[in-house]
Structure 1
Amino acid sequence: MTVDAVLRGAVALPGGRELVLGFGWEGRPGARRAVLRDAARLAVFELDAVFGGRPEPSVTFPLPWPGWSGGVHSVSPDGAFAAFSGQRAVRAVNRDGSTRWEYRHACWGPEVGHPHSGDEQQVCEGSEHGSCRISDDGLLVWAHVPVSGPGEDDYAEAWVVLDAEDGRELARLPLESVAEGSHQQSHPDTGHVGLCVGMGQDGIGLYWARWDGERLRDVRVEEVGERILTDVHPERPAYLTVQHDGWDVQLHDLDGTLLAEGTPPPSTDPDSPAGWDWQCGFVDPHTVLVSTLDYDDDGAHWLLDAATLTLRNRLTYPPGHTPGYARPLGDGTWLTFEPRSGLVHRWSLAPTG
């Protein structure tokens, strides 16, 4: 059974591709925002306002290291400061561009023994990077950082919790990862934060924890797995993952309990196995959107029941629109990006009944 997608609007945003295909988004369902690099600044766009005809950013921050293109950055809920994940430091920057604090760490550059000139703008070889996530109450910065350099016998990475006011380290969870990159997501109601670390052919690390004001609680560690964290449930204490090779999508309780699993429909290409793309998430509390574009010549967007992950519908788009990958927003809508036009499209489901 098919169901129609209805176009709600189209806008041009700097870094629009990263919004849909990467990690350039934050906020609760119904109040999503884009956090995007725009030349030498980080710009925050309130999505409802942008699609309502107000395309200007709500706040901007100068990039501390304009030549550094790595890292996943975060902005506080009130827009007062941003936390930047740099190559050799995490830096908090106030709305006026002043530095609030800096937390130094080892270099992400993978070359053993490479020199540092003392110039903070030096960009070392390599694409490896970490990530930051400001807590939903704006009081903490969760940061994935290296704690010793490449080639050292004790090379290590850590997930640290920093005081958002002064950058003090409040807690540290040692990791056994050797990251190519990472991203983080927070659950909107429980205080839990999830860290997903990509390690290339060595697998994926997935970690969960929450800060209770004194110590880390509910710590879960999966050092070497094969599941990518893609979204958190808009209402339930649960999250969504997809298997690295697209074999299935799973719904988990925050304690890791498997709640449901969904497999892709058979591929129409006999030479290509069926599989889900890794970009997937909650359209609303009852609906998950996944796609099969990477695995099928007739790839499409599919809707799953959010509780059971069973197939419900295949989406159809208006003539002239190819779906591309999707970023569900949890409020009944989702985004796609059109590379030729550079436009971000917002969609919803056609009314039924």
Structure 2
Amino acid sequence: MSIHARLLGSVRLPGGRALVDGNVYESRRDGSRRALHFHGDDLEVHDLEDLFAGETAPETVFPMPWPGWDRGGASVSPDGTFAVFSGQRAVRAVGADGATLWEYRHSCWGPELDHEHTGDEQQLCEGYEHGSVRVSDDGLLVWAHVMGDECEMWAVLDARDGRELARLPLDDSFAAGSHQLSHPDGVHMGLCVGMGQDGVLLYWARWDGERATVRDLDESLDRILMGVHPAHEGFLTVEHYGADVSLHALDGTVVAEQSELAWDYTAGFVDAGTVIATTGVLYGDEDPRHWLLAARTLEIRGSVAYPGGPVDGLVRPLRDGSWLTYDEKNETLSRWTVR
């Protein structure tokens, strides 16, 4: 069965592919949606509604603190007044004027043991390993996946000054990279750690105002965290090698599973009742296709038929009834819904 899509808008945005297949799009509890666009040595922040309304100039531009370091990503405060960057040796908060608001130092992500650093400047060491950061939806905390002296850590920082409020050791983690998702309940934060061929670790943590606690779901899961349910009912994952898409309760219990196809590592909630997922982009020999699934059961409703012909590539669902695609040839970001 084909489900016809309707184009809501398109905008030319060179380099915008990362808004679809990277971790540079942030949706907040208050309904705001920002596109974090890395452009040269700057982080350009776009309000998604303004972008599709024709306002191609970013609402804020944050200079990246370590030119040449293009990993680890960033997160922007809900009010848009500061950005937090994940570096190779530090987490740094930066104002729109480029001024450093605070810095939280940590051990180097570089894989070479006992390599030297001279001075306090941020150097670019060998290796591509990195952590991640996420500003909480209330703007009060920064969750930072960093390298500690003895093991990796998930640190909870005060967003005002970078003061460490808690640290959660991640003894089993040997990250190639990671990403984080805030849960719509405003309490929980999810961390997904990719370790290459060694698998994927998945954690959920919470901060109660005084202490942080973490639940390690690795014993039962080797899965990539894809999205959180808009109605607070759980989260979505894809098996490390695409064997299935699964819906989980917050404790990791599998609520529903879809294993009829070989799924790519992109999926998420179009809205509370609908999931979108792709096949053929990363795994399998078939042509790329986009599929809509029932959110509660993950039953396949049908494949998406786009006006004008197939749309290749991955998707980025927005949880408001729409999703994004990117046309690399025309450097165009498009927004779709069901007709």
**When the two structures are superposed, what TM-score results if normalisation uses the length of structure 1?**
0.91
Q: Specify whether residues 305 and 232 from structure 1 end up closer, same or farther in structure 2 by C-alpha distance, changes over 3 A only.
A: same
Matched, 1:299 2:254: no
Cα drift, residue 14 of structure 1? 4.6
Matched residue type, 1:299: P
Q: Could you say which residue in structure 1 is the equivalent of 2:113?
A: 112
Distance 2:115 2:51 in 1: 44
Q: What is the CA–CA distance in structure 2 between the aligned matches of 1:133 and 1:47, rounded to whole Å?
A: 19
Following superposition, the deviation at residue 237 of structure 1 comes to 3.2
Aligned to 1:191: 187
Cα deviation for residue 136 of structure 1 reads 0.1
Task: Provide the C-alpha distance between the structure 2 equivalents of 1:48 and 1:194, rounded to a whole number of angstroms.
Answer: 26
CA-CA distance at 1:329 after TM superposition: 0.5
Q: Which residue of 1 aligns with 2:273?
A: 286
Displaced runs of 4 or more, over 6 A: none
Offset, 1:119: 5.8
Q: Which amino acid aligns with 2:140?
A: L
SS of the aligned residue for 2:311 comes to coil
- Structure 1 letter corresponding to 2:139: G
1:14–1:36 CA contact under 8 A, matched in 2 = no
Secondary structure in 1 aligned to 2:50?
A: helix
Equivalent residue, structure 2, for 1:132: 133
The amino acid across from 2:34 in the alignment is R
8 Å CA contact 2:28, 2:78 repeated in 1:
no
Q: Which residue of 2 aligns with 1:38?
A: 39
Pairs within 5 Å for 1:201-220: 201-217=197-213, 219-220=214-215
Q: Deviations over 1:93-144 (max 9, x none)?
A: 1222211110000111111222223262421111101100000000000000
Q: Which amino acid aligns with 2:136?
A: S
- Map of 2:153 onto structure 1: 158
Tell me how far apart the structure 2 counterparts of residues 223 and 14 of structure 1 sit (CA, whole Å). Answer: 37
**Any idea what SS the aligned residue of 2:205 has?**
strand
C-alpha distance in 2 between matches for 1:19 and 1:13: 10
Report the CA distance shift for 1:192/1:14 in structure 2 as closer, same or farther (over 3 A).
farther
Structure 2: gaps of 5 or more residues = none
Q: Are positions 1:348 and 2:314 aligned together?
A: no
Identity in percent:
58
Contact persistence 2:327–2:333 (CA under 8 A): yes
TM-superposed deviation, 1:238 = 1.0
Matched, 1:23 2:11: no
SS at match of 1:280: strand
The residue number in structure 1 matching 2:222 is 226
Could you list the runs of 5+ residues in structure 1 that have no partner in the other structure? 149-154, 265-273
If the length of structure 2 is used for normalisation, what is the TM-score? 0.95
Tell me the distance in 2 between the aligned counterparts of 1:119 and 1:344.
Answer: 40
Superposed CA offset, 1:143-168 (max 9, x none): 000012xxxxxx41000000001111
Q: Is the CA contact 2:235–2:250 (under 8 Å) kept in the aligned structure 1?
A: yes
| Equivalent residue letter for 2:40 | A
| Aligned-pair CA distance for 1:321 | 4.5
- Residues of 1 paired with 2:186 and 2:139: CA distance? 14
Tell me the equivalent position of 1:57.
Answer: 58
> Alpha-carbon deviation of 1:320?
4.3
Partner of 1:11: 11
Following superposition, the deviation at residue 52 of structure 1 comes to 1.0
